[in-house]
Chain A
Amino acid sequence: MTVIPLGVPRRLLEFTLDGEPVRAPEGSTILDACRAVGKDVPTLCEGDTLTPKNACRVCVVEVEGARTLVPACSRKAESGMEVRTDTERARHSRKIVLELLASSVDLSTTPKVAGWIKEYEAKPDRFGPDAARLNEEPKVDNELYVRDYDKCILCYKCVDACGEQWQNTFAISVAGRGFDARIAVEHDAPLTDSACVYCGNCIEVCPTGALSFKSEFDMRAAGTWDEAAQTETTTVCAYCGVGCNLTLHVQDNEIVKVTSPHDNPVTHGNLCIKGRFGYQHVQNRD
């Protein structure tokens, strides 16, 4: 069990959510408030341990008096605000955003998105067969992880995790502009020529599978990846004395990938190259 740190007591704000009065601690976002009362608002780029970039715009809601819709993930709740999460206007924008995304990238390994596409009756095909999309082969330039730009929705989470919010390595950034913008290292070089330290924290936060473990990528290609058959065991990393938690994903008695619990107050899901990728010695059975 992990320790849940108690925060400073905060004042409660009162506002209305879909016509119902709700109270939320000062500083919480509209999304926090929605989740606190059990209301589901879809999100893609929001992450539990990173400052939301509000780039995907799937979580937009209607706020009385605002000219445009507002992103629930990053807009702070204010006293007296009137928020409506499920209006025709908000649903329309979500539907179009899902269509735009699904028509331009491969969302097949994005959790929950299939359900939303159905719920909002999104039809990504209606932009025609010639709708622009990336169509790029996955980049396999090292033995640890794979970059599949076809699945990248440019949520900026990997950039934030690699940069000032987590890892402080700054190996990747967004390059280019508009539809041509893409996550890249300097000069769009192979990862092996970059500042990457292979901590894998970017994989940890990637919401779509655009970044994946080489092990997972190979098994998916071979058709042997079976999430239902996997068990997850959280343990303590034995490499050094920090005591990071590791979650071992095991399939057929083999570790297939390693993640880390986000609610751990020390690491928040961060690991280093050894904790994340250095597990082969465990299953070296010679």
Chain B
Amino acid sequence: MDLHFGDSKPTDEEKAAVDALLGPPESSWEGADRSDADLRWARGGREARERRDLLLPGLHAVNDRIGWISEGALHYLCRRLTVPPAEAYGVATFYAMFSVGPRPATVLHVCTDLACAAAGAAELCAGTEARLGPGSGASVQRSPCLGLCERAPAALAIRAGDPVRTAVAAPATVEAAVLAASAPDSADEEPPAAMAVPQAGDPSLTLLGRVGVVDPASLDDYRAHGGYTALRRAFELGPAGVIREVTDSGLVGRGGAAFPTGRKWQATASQPDRPHYLVCNADESEPGTFKDRVLMEGDPFSLIEAMTIAGYATGAHQGYLYLRGEYPRALRRLEHALAQARARGLLGDDVLGQGYAFDIEIRRGAGAYICGEETALFNSIEGYRGEPRSKPPFPVEKGLFGKPTVENNVETLVNVLPILTMGAPAYAAIGTGRSTGPKLFCVSGSVDRPGVYELPFGATLGDLLTLAGVRGRLRAVLLGGAAGGFVRPDELGIPLTFEGTREAGTTLGSGVVMAFDDTVPLPRLLLRIAEFFRDESCGQCVPCRVGTVRQEEALHRIAERTGAAAADDIALLREVGRAMRDASICGLGQTAWNAVESAIDRLGAYE
């Protein structure tokens, strides 16, 4: 490799931020001052290059401490890791939470996505911008969904420094958001995670049963409430036994694709290539989704236990938890839980004294919806741009670092605990024949009690909305998030199962149920969805990169039009949408047209 680092130098603070992560440099080959020994020894090249996956943590380290990533800081980080600066620049500019230009130390991310938009995000943005003018030391950034939909509208303040400080205002008034940005330390404490679970305390809850009941910071409390019994059972069963239970339970992935979990585990476990990796996808960035956040904040040990079981079953000794960058509280809770579990021998060289070695590392995303796509997530962890890879080869064969990898989302993994404690037959008896077990739904929008609901598969959309209490006259329900589809108020009988929603021509997706009353202007909602996909497209393939832009343009053109005046553009949208669905590399482009299409066909949005 033929690297050129230019002559821009890091400041002492930037250097300290990088060194705090990587340790001090050992030779001039990786950024130290030149010594006599360096003239005779060339060290660092290959070894440093193998640490490429520390690029994203390195960018975070600088961005957290300084607030943005300067040329000098980027070059120093590149020298430390032997990464070409052009590539590192490509990575740094990929993520929305990083800036490669100077900006104030405090950034207030104001959510402008669906639930928040319906709850007045536009006024919140305008109000905070007016108050936080130049000179206030804070800038306002419009943000896609922050995963706080049950408390819309939401704002997240991040103040760079050592340590970085964060504050959340939700539901946010202009005053609360400005306070969070100007004094994050004295902003109001966030309500406990259980506040997002309207059913909290109900003894029939399986997945959410511990949220609000246990102290999320206490391992003892977790164990007192049944924690780690599933892992003990896993050790009794052995890896093959665990996979058999999971297969028999009928569990399918809850991230949206609904792939049978047991089959995925089996396929990974049986790969001869080593090592195997386990990746937990905690990058829930689908607008309207916040269930994983609530689980991680309210019951963090359950995810760690479930990951340990998944790693054990599939022969992995290293797990990565890829957490979206917008979840500071979940990060703190999980970091604390990991440290506790390590200290007590529940992670490490000898888990529970069973001779099985397993540990988990948290990797933080930095604002990119596409990184929830499984192969884009691998690229992101590896220190590359979060662009999806072509499949095949599939992750079970060649995943993270090119090795067999099983990737599951948070909710899927947490389901493994009841499968092992109650046994596959009892678990499979919940729900319907083909959609087994309990399911989490994120209800938001025009409802009285927004939050995460747990229901057995098979309940109808109407049952769920009755629990949440529809406010006003219901105009439409968005199922499955921005990549999902709209249904009409007269379709509330749709059973919330994978097969039931498929038969009704829609999708369950990640479990988003967003209700909109008749005060919400539908065309503006569709524009926001189109804008979201245009912003979040990675730009790799033509149908998605250009198609999402053309979709948004057409929706702008017909924003105020209906009937014959809109017919041409709707026909155009259909043609482009069909090619995006057919020819895009990954799910983002393939689903970018779903919601708009359903609004046209099912709701008659432009009639």
Q: What residues make up the interface of A, taking CB atoms closer than 8 Å to B? A: 53-58, 60, 68-69, 71, 74-76, 89, 92-93, 95-97, 100-101, 103-104, 126-128, 130-132, 153-154, 156, 163, 167-181, 184-188, 193-195, 197
Contacts and interface: CB of A to CB of B under 8 A. Distances in A.
A232 B424 CA distance: 72
Interface in B57-75: 71, 74-75
A128 B536 contact: no
Select the residue from A76, A127, A174 with max chain B CB neighbours within 10 A: A174
B542 A153 contact: yes
Interface string B547-560: 11110011001000
Given A169-B2, A170-B84, A56 B545 contact: no
A177 B90 CA distance: 9
Interface string B371-409: 000000000000001000010100000000000000000
A100 B543 contact: yes
Contacts of A130: 553
Nearest to A181: B539
Given A96-B543, A131-B550, A68 B86 contact: no
A29 B557 CA distance: 42
Nearest to A169: B2
Contacts of A188: 89
Contact of A57 (B4, B75, B89, B583): B583
A170 B91 CA distance: 14
What is the predominant secondary structure among interface residues of chain A facing chain B?
A: loop
Contacts of A69: 582-583
Nearest to B590: A68
Contacts of B536: 177-178
A211 to B, nearest CB: 15
Given A54-B585, A96-B576, 17 more contacts: A54-B390, A60-B582, A60-B583, A68-B581, A68-B584, A93-B543, A93-B583, A100-B543, A128-B553, A128-B557, A154-B545, A170-B3, A170-B87, A185-B89, A186-B88, A187-B71, A197-B2
A75 to B, nearest CB: 8
B548 A127 contact: no
Given A100-B543, A174-B385, A178-B537, A185 B86 contact: yes
B582 to A, nearest CB: 5
B534 A92 contact: no
B100 interface: yes
Contacts of A126: 572
B579 A186 contact: no
B293 to A, nearest CB: 24
B541 A57 contact: yes
Interface string B517-545: 00000000000000000111111111101
B546 A171 contact: no
14 contacts: A68-B584, A92-B575, A97-B542, A101-B546, A127-B550, A130-B553, A154-B539, A171-B4, A172-B86, A173-B87, A175-B93, A184-B89, A184-B90, A186-B71
A81 B502 CA distance: 27
Given A57-B542, A179-B537, A194 B86 contact: yes
B100 A57 contact: no
A96 B575 contact: yes
Contacts of B581: 68
B547 A100 contact: yes
A56 B89 contact: no
Contacts of A195: 2-4, 84-86
Interface residues of B, number: 52
A3 to B, nearest CB: 28
B538 to A, nearest CB: 6
Nearest to A76: B392
B539 A176 contact: yes
A104 B542 CA distance: 10
Contact of A177 (B71, B86, B539): B539
Contacts of A173: 84, 86-87, 89-90
Contacts of A153: 542
Given A100-B576, A177-B368, A178-B535, A55 B4 contact: no
Given A71-B390, A127-B572, A179 B545 contact: yes
Contacts of A184: 86, 89-90
B6 interface: yes
Contacts of A53: 540
B60 to A, nearest CB: 18
Contacts of B343: none
A103 B554 CA distance: 14
Interface centre among B71, B543, B554 (most CB of A within 10 A): B543
A207 to B, nearest CB: 13
Nearest to A195: B4
Contacts of B547: 96, 100
A3 B212 CA distance: 73
Q: Which of B545, B546, B581, B584 has the most CB of A within 10 A?
A: B546
B131 to A, nearest CB: 29
B578 interface: yes
Given A130-B553, A178-B545, A92 B578 contact: yes
Nearest to B85: A186
Contacts of A174: 90, 385, 539
Nearest to A53: B540
B213 to A, nearest CB: 41
B224 interface: no
A89 B581 CA distance: 11
Contact of B545 (A163, A167, A168, A181): A181
Contacts of B545: 154, 178-179, 181
B1 interface: yes
B537 A177 contact: yes
A71 B541 CA distance: 11
A101 B542 contact: yes
Contacts of A128: 553, 557
Contacts of B385: 174
B453 interface: no
Contacts of B86: 170-173, 184-186, 194-195
B486 interface: no
Nearest to A58: B542
B94 interface: yes
A168 B87 CA distance: 12
A172 B84 CA distance: 9
A57 B543 contact: yes
A180 B93 CA distance: 10
Nearest to A153: B542
Most buried by A among B100, B536, B539, B547: B539
Nearest to B586: A68
B542 to A, nearest CB: 5
A56 B537 contact: no
Contacts of A171: 4, 84, 86
A182 B536 CA distance: 15
Interface string B33-75: 0000000000000000000000000000000000000010011
Contact of B534 (A97, A103, A179): A179
A33 B94 CA distance: 36
A118 B471 CA distance: 54
A177 B93 contact: yes
Nearest to B96: A177
B100 A96 contact: no
A150 to B, nearest CB: 14
A171 B78 CA distance: 13
A56 B541 contact: yes
A100 B537 contact: no
Interface string B317-340: 000000000000000000000000
